[in-house]
Homo-oligomer: A and B are copies of this chain.
Amino acid sequence: MIRLSRRPVLLLLAGILTGNICAAQESGSSAEPLQIRSQGSFFVGGHDIHSDTLSSTPTRAAAGTITVDQVYVRYQIPTNAGGNAVTFIHGCCLTGKTWETTPDGRMGWDEYFVRHGRSVYVIDQASRGRSAANPSAINRVKVGKTTPDQLPPIAAESHEEAWTVFRFGPEYPKAFPGLQFPLDAQAEFWKQMVPDWIESLPTPNPTVPALAELAERLNGTVLISHSQSGIYPFQAAALSTKGISGIVAIEPGACPAATSDLRPYAGMPILVLMGDYVDLSPRWVPRLKACREFVQAANAAGARAEVVLLPDVGFHGNSHMLMQDTNSLQVADWLLAWIDRHVEHR
């Protein structure tokens, strides 16, 4: 599966000579080589702190300086890049891996959007994945400087709990009829989950100013959030709309309150995108309701916002992890078209 047989450069040459290379890229086919103009990774945000409990063992110094609250960003820019970049922001208990190869081994949205001419940036939220957490508060308890109740709350979400949150089914391990999530590959999916330090972090989450900084650096990006991170692009826009050309909130855990200051969203294209089975989930029904109220109020304040449920545009059976569902690339096509229509050609 991983190592394919050699394919001669001649095929690429033939593709170019017959004018097919751009057509092949448009189709998102993995059969044609991916053409990358540049790629790499960097950090946004972050600041130095001093701690005297960096370690609890004699093998490493306890006192010193570390850098925290930075956000890791990985990017790819295709040779045919055009329009606004997209920035993918993962949700609870996950990392940027969310947007990469699906659990059943299909192409992730990170590559698919690049194949459709978008520059793609994928982050790891602060204190998650390749973005450092700060262990000082743990060591402070271990060495007796404070009490166990001062330990940071760090949670791992169980398979059983995630099952209903992610709307794989009404209860573990029952699946919704017609579910598009590749449950046969669920073992690979569970490996994507990581502990979540979010409840130990300040408000707004350090990811928020980092997103505002990133958007300014990119000078035009659509912030595409998922779940827990749903509120972050809105909070980033409240800090600075410079560089934020649109917001796509996929299955947001929260939207801004309808009664909050909605001026940052005036003129901004905003999409709240939900999968299927929402009405069957006591967790998601009120979240959707609150987002509908936000969208209505934001539009009254001049935003260009809408809520779309995938079943209403012809996609059925999508879970909360819709970027990994078996029809994920068809949903991506729909989203790419939405961005073209609402962000590029407004």
Query: In whole angstroms, what is the CA distance A81 to B100 when docked?
Result: 22
**Residues A191 and B67 in contact in the complex (CB < 8 Å), given A101-B40, A141-B151, A161-B60:** yes
**Residues A37 and B4 in contact in the complex (CB < 8 Å), given A9-B21, A79-B12, A148-B144:** yes
| A36 nearest CB neighbor, chain B only | B34
- List CB contacts (< 8 Å) of A36-64 with chain B: 36-43, 46, 48, 51, 54-57, 59-61, 63-64
**Residues A108 and B40 in contact in the complex (CB < 8 Å), given A64-B159, A130-B97, A135-B155:** yes
Check if A217 sits within 8 Å of B64, measured CB to CB. Answer: no
Task: Point out residues on A near B: beta carbons under 8 Å.
Answer: 2-4, 6-7, 9, 12-13, 16, 21-22, 30, 33-43, 46, 48, 51, 54-57, 59-61, 63-67, 70, 72, 74-75, 77, 79-82, 85, 95-97, 100-101, 105, 107-108, 111, 119, 124, 129-136, 138-139, 141-142, 144, 148-149, 151-161, 187-188, 190-195, 199, 217-219
Task: State the copy count for this chain.
Answer: 2
Interface centre among A39, A136, A152, A192 (most CB of B within 10 A): A39
Least CB distance, A135 to chain B, in whole angstroms: 4
Check if B135 sits within 8 Å of A156, measured CB to CB. Answer: yes
Check if A60 sits within 8 Å of B193, measured CB to CB. Answer: no
